[in-house]
Structure 1
Amino acid sequence: MNKEIIAAIALFILGFGLISRRLEKSVITPPMAYVTFGLLISYTVFGLVNDLNITNEIIRTLAEITLAIVLFTDASRIQLKLLRQEYNLPLRLLGIGLPLTIVFGTIFALLLFPTELNIWEAAALATILAPTDAALGQAVVNSSRVPVSIRQAINVESGLNDGICLPILL
């Protein structure tokens, strides 16, 4: 990566930090902004990033630490007292909804890519895609119009689904 790309990324992070408080009340979430920025600097739009060859072990370790922090942050928002009282909905989301999502995702992948994927590859794809983060629906999760039990259930499911799917994938 050259210095211009690093400077552009740093300026975006700084700029986003300056307006992030205002964006909390909007439907625009940080993942939406970062993905949009990534697309804008990619080789398909503005062509700033043409050849991204990441082979450095430090970058890989940094990415893993960042993922662990993000997942821990999701799990830390869970209100344990409320969860003990209202555990049925998160239990159904994780115990019924997540496995069904993987099963139907596998079937859909086989229908969508009948010659490209075998059953195990389709199942791996479905398992990777099943634990999508609730960050894209953060406006709904944070809305006071949504009942607390629903918001809590979505937070619990979002915080735990990655940890449940990883052993399945492995």
Structure 2
Amino acid sequence: MGSLLLAFAGMLLLAVLLSSLAHRTILSTAALFLIAGFVLGDGALGVVSLAPGDELVGTLAELALFAVLFTDGMRVGWAELRSAWRLPGRALGWGLPLTLAITAVGAHYLVGLGWIESLLIGAILAPTDPVFAAALVGNEKVPPRLRRLLNVESGVNDGLALPFVMVFLAIAAGSQDLHLGELGLELGLGVVIGVAVPWAAIKLEQTRWFSASTPYEPLNALAIGLLVLALGKATHGNLFLAAFAAGITVATFGERQRESFEHFGELITELFKLAALLVFGALITPALLGSVGWTGWLFAILALVLARPAAIWLSFLGSGLSVREQAAVAWFGPKGFASVVYALIVLSSGIAAAQQVFQLVAVTIVASILLHSSTDIVVARGFDDERDVPAWFGKARRLRGRLPEDGQS
């Protein structure tokens, strides 16, 4: 524990010192923590020694995913979803299940996994993460509708993929461990807690008897999140759906609470993300990377360059997006933090194929982080010339297309 804390503290300081450089170059702090975990883990230096069954691994994965889903939900209140649903709706309603299905087919036929385990891998790898495409999402020269599409999609698809992960994991575990009826009750109870607790807390603050002072305002949403977490633990409701529902409820009914918590919440979530990436990297060893074989690596590459692009191309037929925009959306479906935590959950679940599922997900995430975090700036800069062209030039070019060339009648 002491060595892990020391490693995390040192890496966090290094990430802070390099954060300005990371915003301007292909350097990724997420990739930095993943690589650091790999180098410091048992597969290399052995400074950080962790086993998949360690309580710390499961607890950190649980808290990290809770924090991520809570803040993700806050980014996409019902107002945002209604005003910008057309394009993200295609990516979520069609793109996500198509990505899941294509990935599952690859896992089944390339690697030879059973259909349930293949569908579980598809559900784990379906969500996207804007952290590994930050230069694209944060570049104001990238078309606003494209940035909004990627932001909304990545904010919602973690929560949408979660029920699929839980159901396929429960089936893979066998009926003796968890009945689907019990799973449905657990998921439903999580949603109820996630809606009821923040709604009641916000309504209480809106009465004349209660009011949060300015210094305490950022703690309001934090207290709501902790209460949702505690009630979920006490009642065995699904913590992750509760977190996602709670975030959406705060965003919908408590705009002030969301604004005051936004920066504070993102910092807390970032700490959990980086810690989980360090642990995830420490669990990846050279032996693990080699044990998947060439079929495993082929699956990982195809999951990135075929599954998502094919699903997005089919989903956005007739959408009005340009070819360049569709290509950017198709490529930047990086497998990020939610996939990391889902993989850790599967690894500690005890199902027969847990190790193989984790290995395949691990190599896919490693490939995704290296490929996407090193190409986001390059792709984002591809939009610079297009956005820098003056408006009058575009009008003149269109007018010229309708007139005869010089010297022609």
TM-score range, shorter chain: 0.7 to 0.9
Distance 1:84 1:5, change over 3 A: closer
Map 1:11-160 → 2, pairs under 5 A: 11-52=10-51, 55-56=54-55, 60-78=58-76, 83-114=81-112, 117-160=113-156
Q: Which residue of 2 aligns with 1:8?
A: 7
- Residue 82 (structure 1) shift: 6.0
Q: Is the 8 A contact 2:41 2:50 kept in 1?
A: no
**CA–CA separation in structure 2 for the residues paired with 1:98 and 1:53:** 28
* TM-score (normalised: structure 2): 0.37
* TM-score (normalised: structure 1): 0.83
- Which protein has the larger Cα radius of gyration, Structure 1 or Structure 2? 2
Q: Is the 8 A contact 1:128 1:165 kept in 2?
A: yes
Q: Is the 8 A contact 1:79 1:152 kept in 2?
A: no
Q: Is the 8 A contact 1:74 1:155 kept in 2?
A: no
Three-state SS of the structure 2 residue aligned to 1:136 is helix
**CA–CA separation in structure 2 for the residues paired with 1:40 and 1:10:** 16
Distance 1:36 1:55, change over 3 A: closer
| Structure of higher RCO (CA pairs closer than 8 Å, 6+ residues apart) | 2
**CA–CA separation in structure 1 for the residues paired with 2:28 and 2:78:** 25
What whole-Å deviation, never above 9, does each CA across 1:2-60 have from its counterpart, x for those lacking one?
x344312211112212332342233333322211111121222323234436543x764
Identify unmatched segments of 5+ residues in structure 1. Answer: none
**CA–CA separation in structure 2 for the residues paired with 1:31 and 1:80:** 30
- Counterpart of 1:16, as a letter, is A
Distance 1:38 1:75, change over 3 A: same
Q: Is the 8 A contact 2:76 2:156 kept in 1?
A: no
Q: Is the 8 A contact 1:83 1:152 kept in 2?
A: no
- Counterpart of 1:165, as a letter, is A
Q: Which residue of 1 aligns with 2:195?
A: none
Pairwise CA RMSD: 2.4
Larger fraction in helix:
2
- Counterpart of 2:128, as a letter, is T
Three-state SS of the structure 1 residue aligned to 2:24 is coil
- Counterpart of 2:31, as a letter, is M
